[in-house]
């Protein structure tokens, strides 16, 4: 029997919880999914705060007990928008309860845990997807289509930078993103994971890496309160246990070369998630800070007219764009989450595979881990191929 409704259980209600709530609220209005998402229940540790969040965002119910909630009969999909340290436990519990699982990035912190998550969703036969949301910015989806159509020929260079500046001030207080036990790593896993996913999406598997991570600011004021990327200091100081930046070189399985840089200490760069891909016949460039634009250079253009053209990916024929506003009425960050909610709903409703799935998430973790190993061994390191 066709699925008419998709009952969603969201876990997490901070920055990502809001982004996911927005997506579930919007998707059935701007898109026509084959099952209608229902905002069934949202979970968080603080019972009072989660009840308020549920009311504000339109969730039918709120719970401070995710263990029981993910097993509820009226839940179809568990959406994990909580810090990375809890992804593994929640995803496995949800899969064992027969629920489809949507999970924030990075999938988890180690290849070993990623494999456990992958085994659990495969055993349960449920759908699984990782929210690498930037794949779903229309200009990035367009870049994928153009590469597949051979517009830039054989890919030779992949140049990824993901730069932010919200930790430049040494007085910016501690929060969970600066603690290894909660976040796994710093810029490396938080930002580098996005770049690795985009590179894999656009250019294929990464085979070998060599790189480094570094922490410049090793102690910060203790945390008082924090929300999203803002925080208020409390008493005393705390040791930072993650990296501020990571850099690595990559060799792709298809012969392409890659450079990757991720940092949260680049003054002026707010969410500068950028790639430049050079192929045998042309180049493609995208940066989130101008997210609707895709730059394209083609060696096939007449020599007198060669140059980068800026394609504004807001035409009805561009991926996802036709579901929103007339051409030129720009899309933003939140739309990429709505696109993910739509694609996930379609995969579940039509029993189709999701992308990126937990295998992609695990392969991304394998690249992150290989960079760590390369730093320890000071040498090129093979990336484990996850089966």
* Least separation in angstroms between CB 33 and ligand SOE: 24
Complex with ligand SOE: residue 190 or 244, whichever CB lies closer: 190
Position closest to ligand SOE via CB: 190
Please answer whether residues 25 and 335 qualify as being in contact, where contact means their C-beta atoms are separated by less than 8 angstroms: no
Residue from the set 76, 79, 113, 190 that interacts with ligand SOE by CB under 6 A: 190
Complex with ligand SOE: residue 192 or 282, whichever CB lies closer: 192
Token pair of 136 as six digits: 């779903």
Does position 271 bind ligand SOE by CB under 6 A? yes
Tell me the DSSP string of 89-157.
HHHHHHHHTT-EEEEESSS-SSHHHHHHHHHHHHHHT--EEEE-GGGGSHHHHHHHHHHHTTTT-SEEE
* Least separation in angstroms between CB 368 and ligand SOE: 14
Residues within window 74-93 making contact with ligand SOE, judged by CB under 6 A: none
Pairwise CA distance, residues 322 & 55, whole Å:
31
> How many chain residues interact with ligand SOE (CB under 6 A)?
5
* Least separation in angstroms between CB 187 and ligand SOE: 8
SS3 category, 338: helix
Binding track, positions 206-245, relative to ligand SOE; x by CB under 6 A? -----------------------x----------------
Token pair of 88 as six digits: 């593994």
Residues within window 294-323 making contact with ligand SOE, judged by CB under 6 A: none
SS3 category, 284: strand
Tell me the DSSP string of 285-305.
EEEGGGTTEEEEEETTS-GGG
Pairwise CA distance, residues 332 & 183, whole Å:
26
SS3 category, 54: helix
Binding track, positions 159-188, relative to ligand SOE; x by CB under 6 A? -----x------------------------
Complex with ligand SOE: residue 105 or 159, whichever CB lies closer: 105
The DSSP letter of residue 321 is: G
Pairwise CA distance, residues 180 & 187, whole Å:
11
* Least separation in angstroms between CB 171 and ligand SOE: 18
* Least separation in angstroms between CB 162 and ligand SOE: 8
Q: Which residues bind ligand SOE (CB under 6 A)?
A: 164, 190-191, 229, 271
């Amino acid at each position: 029997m066709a699925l008419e409704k998709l009952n969603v259980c969201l876990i997490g209600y901070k920055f990502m919880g809001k982004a996911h709530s927005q997506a579930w609220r919007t998707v059935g209005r701007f898109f026509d999914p084959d099952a209608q998402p229902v905002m069934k229940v949202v979970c968080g540790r603080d019972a009072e705060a989660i009840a308020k969040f549920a009311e504000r965002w339109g969730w039918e119910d709120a719970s401070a007990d995710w263990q029981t909630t993910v097993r509820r009969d009226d839940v179809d999909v568990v959406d994990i928008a909580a810090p990375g340290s809890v992804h593994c436990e929640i995803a496995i519990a949800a899969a064992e309860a027969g629920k489809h699982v949507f999970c924030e990035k990075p999938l988890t912190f180690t290849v070993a845990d990623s494999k456990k998550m992958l085994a659990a969703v495969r055993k349960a036969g449920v759908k699984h997807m990782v929210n690498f949301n930037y794949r779903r910015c229309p200009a990035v989806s367009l870049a994928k289509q153009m590469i597949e159509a051979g517009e830039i020929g054989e890919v030779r260079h992949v140049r990824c930078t993901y730069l932010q500046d919200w930790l430049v001030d040494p007085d910016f207080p501690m929060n969970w993103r600066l603690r290894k036990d909660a976040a796994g790593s710093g810029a490396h896993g938080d930002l580098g994971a996005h770049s690795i996913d985009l590179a894999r999406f656009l250019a294929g598997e990464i085979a070998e890496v060599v790189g480094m991570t570094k922490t410049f600011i090793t102690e910060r004021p203790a945390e008082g309160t924090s929300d999203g990327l803002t925080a208020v200091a409390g008493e005393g100081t705390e040791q930072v246990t993650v990296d501020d930046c990571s850099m690595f070189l990559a060799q792709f399985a298809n012969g392409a070369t890659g450079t990757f840089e991720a940092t949260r200490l680049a003054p002026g760069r707010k969410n500068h998630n950028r790639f430049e891909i050079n192929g045998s016949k042309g180049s493609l460039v995208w940066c989130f800070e101008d997210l609707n634009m895709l730059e394209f250079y083609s060696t096939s253009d007449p020599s007198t007219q060669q140059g980068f053209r800026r394609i504004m990916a807001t035409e009805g024929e561009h991926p996802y764009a036709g579901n929103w506003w007339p051409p030129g009425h720009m899309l933003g960050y939140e739309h990429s989450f709505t696109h993910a909610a739509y694609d996930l709903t379609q995969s579940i409703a039509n029993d189709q595979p999701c992308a990126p799935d937990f295998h992609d998430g695990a392969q991304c973790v394998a690249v992150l881990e290989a960079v760590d190993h390369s730093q320890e061994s000071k040498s090129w390191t093979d990336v484990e191929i996850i089966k």
